Structure 1
């Protein structure tokens, strides 16, 4: 244990003292926020009002253009197609919609002209507007008023309740899905980032011949164990710093955007310029409604936070230790990163497969047979179990079996990696294949 601790200490201090570690620990939360915020900001900045000219030869709109919605408005133009095209070329309109004469029972022949191709969003808005207008005319012909039909429609909010032997608990599918993906994503990234560091560290020692001196004092199993645990501690340290910094940044942002300041800013903007309820105002109201729904869902979601946090830390560490040993074995078997590619695919495929399956199965049926088995197998359990836990309903025995199998899996992989490590670290310039690796595992001595 003393030798493992010394190797652990060396691996930890060497990496923590690097400038790259300090820089990434400080800017990591900012990069994470930017990863989600920048695309939204770019999308909002790119949203500009679109104008569509309508050549209504079929009198579909009856001389009344649809009201401007969101970022699109319709303006009338001459019904003659040739003249409408000439006017469109001279104007700054984004598109020209031509409505031919037709039978409402079988509509068709609509054309949309644009200068440089039509965007997906604009095309969808135009199609939706035309479909709505055809529906309105069909309703009128049938003697049904659109306003009456709209009153008949219903939109209800469902309160989801988890009913179990422990009693009734409020739940939120949306919040549970978000928590599940967040936990799974963090474990996925941690395994890849720090697992690759284990692999590179082993290859560096192998190519620099330092390991020939080290291996004379410690056993390969001790060296591998100390290296994997040391890099795991580095990852935990960085994660703790990210959490603390994220909480600090969130607190500062929450303080700078207090309700009083938001009201004051709103009053100032309204006083500065008097305007009607434009599309931007409607979008802001819509965003506010969405934000209110999200806040309510978070408040009503009855998540077992202590269980989720505790299991996250366990699978966070257990998943890394399991895969870190495998990455270390790959580093011992190869001389450079090019040679590692043939061994990386079988190791990383279970992680990628878990994420692919999670979208179709784990989050839609978290207690199904596929989800249960994936949460038991050590190759997939770190992500699969964390995908299931936020939804609740995971039996205690399944959780204990999953944890026990992950611990056994880690011990098995660390033993396997040690067997490969003791031979691979002394091999230079030899191309290794799977058959050769199987021989290394059973070498005596």
Structure 2
């Protein structure tokens, strides 16, 4: 045990003393805040057109002509020539478009021509206005009072999602839960890859430099692998803890500067409505157990190859479950966190770190599901550590021989 602790100490101190580690601790929270602000700005800015777009309308149906209303940076004008004549004028003007509405527009497509690809903002606005005009025209033809109907449409219904708990009712905060769940899934996915890859690179470096031969003379291969995995894992835990603390501090400072209820202050108020401590505890558990599970396999891969370029054939099968779950998490699972697919993915050890962190912020995880998932995670990393250690003890001393899956199986069954 003393030797394992020495290896852990070496791996930890060597990495935390690096300038890159210290720099990244401070840079990442700032990048997250900057990225959040940039995304918000770009999302808002992308909905607005940069210059005034003129749309020449050719209406063969005589239903829409003169009924389009000008909006910000969109101006509608009646066309004075034929379709071909108006299209010829597009060659020298990128801010000009021609809207061609056929007589039987319900059967034939309405076309909009421009020199460059028209934006979704422009086509969406034209489509919405045409739908409104067509609906109004149909109602008038059937002697329906459009003024009364439009007044009725103003009575919009707003639904507030509420959650019934043992202590009473509270806001369900579905949007916040969705955002936190996806963020946790992304962080877990990145962490397992980043720190697992560090273990693999460390093994490859020691193996190719032949330092491993000296180390193995003093400690057993399993002790070396275990010490390396735990040491790098503690580095990752330190980094994540620092990032979380600094992100909270930076967010609070930004919230104070933006004023009460606005900007970051609003985000902090929203986040305060979710069980942050419970989510953070689960995040740390699945980060640690997921890291231990995958880093053991990464260490086995590192021991089986002589360079990082040879790792691809072994890496893909290992990372496929994680990649598969990540893609589902950001597209499907957050929409149905209690579906059978989400439940099974959150229980299977190879997919649970990502899938469970999508489900937990929604609060619908049954205690037995969480207990089963956590128990299987512990059993899973113990099993993968055992398998990886048997491969590692042989592979770490193999040089110049390209390993295959058949070779790995042989290494596993070698006797001590």
CA RMSD of aligned residues (A): 2.9
Is 1:72 aligned to 2:44, yes or no? no
Q: TM-score, normalised by structure 1?
A: 0.84
Distance 1:142 1:174 in 2: 42
For 1:63, the equivalent position in structure 2 comes to 66
Q: Any conservation in 1 of the 2:49–2:121 contact (CA below 8 Å)?
A: no
Residue 192 of structure 1 pairs with residue 193 of structure 2: yes
SS at match of 1:162: strand
d(CA) in 2 for partners of 1:203 and 1:403? 31
Kept after mapping to 1: 8 A contact 2:94/2:114: no
1:181 is matched with 182
Aligned partner of residue 96 in structure 1, secondary structure = strand
Q: Could you say which residue in structure 1 is the equivalent of 2:305?
A: 334
* Partner Cα separation in structure 2 for residue 90 and residue 60 of structure 1: 30
Which of 382-391 and 356-365 deviates more?
356-365
Instruction: Give the 3 Å change call, closer, same or farther, for CA 40–51 of structure 1 in structure 2.
Output: farther
Give 2:215's aligned residue: 214
8 Å CA contact retained: 1:28, 1:242: yes
1:308 aligns with 2:279: yes
How big is each residue's C-alpha offset from its partner over 1:180-204, in whole Å with a ceiling of 9 and x where there is no partner?
A: 1111111111000010000000000
TM-score, normalised with respect to structure 2: 0.89
Number of equivalent positions:
412
**For the Cα contact (< 8 Å) 1:374–1:381, is it kept in 2?**
yes
CA contact (8 A) 1:361 1:370 kept: no
Q: After superposition, what is the alpha-carbon deviation per residue over 1:237-284, rounded to whole angstroms, capped at 9, x for unaligned?
A: 211222232223223322332269x9xxxxxxxxxxxxxxxxxxxxxx
Deviation per CA, 1:46-74: give whole Å up to 9, x if none: 731422222345433353431315x4332
**Mean CA deviation greater in 404-413 or 115-124:** 115-124
1:11-410 map, 5 Å:
11-42=11-42, 44=45, 47-49=49-51, 50-69=53-72, 71-78=73-80, 80-81=82-83, 84-85=86-87, 93-100=95-102, 102=103, 106=106, 108=108, 110-153=110-153, 155-163=156-164, 168-258=169-259, 298=270, 303-359=274-330, 361-410=332-381
- Quote the Cα distance in structure 2 between the aligned partners of 1:62 and 1:368: 50
- Seen in structure 2, the aligned counterparts of structure 1 residues 233 and 130 have a Cα distance that, compared at 3 Å, is same
Counterparts of 2:246 and 2:359 in 1: how far apart (Å)?
Answer: 28
CA distance in 2, matches of 1:371, 1:429: 44
Question: Retained in 2: the 8 A contact 1:195–1:327?
Answer: yes
Paired with 1:27 and 1:426, the residues of 2 have a C-alpha distance of: 39
Q: How big is each residue's C-alpha offset from its partner over 1:389-414, in whole Å with a ceiling of 9 and x where there is no partner? A: 11123222221221111111111111
CA contact (8 A) 1:325 1:413 kept: yes
SS, match of residue 306 in structure 2: coil
Query: Is the Cα–Cα contact under 8 Å of residues 81 and 98 in structure 1 kept in the other structure?
Result: yes
Moved more, 415-424 or 385-394: 385-394
Per the TM alignment, residue 223 of structure 1 is displaced from its structure 2 partner at its CA by: 0.8
Unaligned runs of 5+ in 2: none
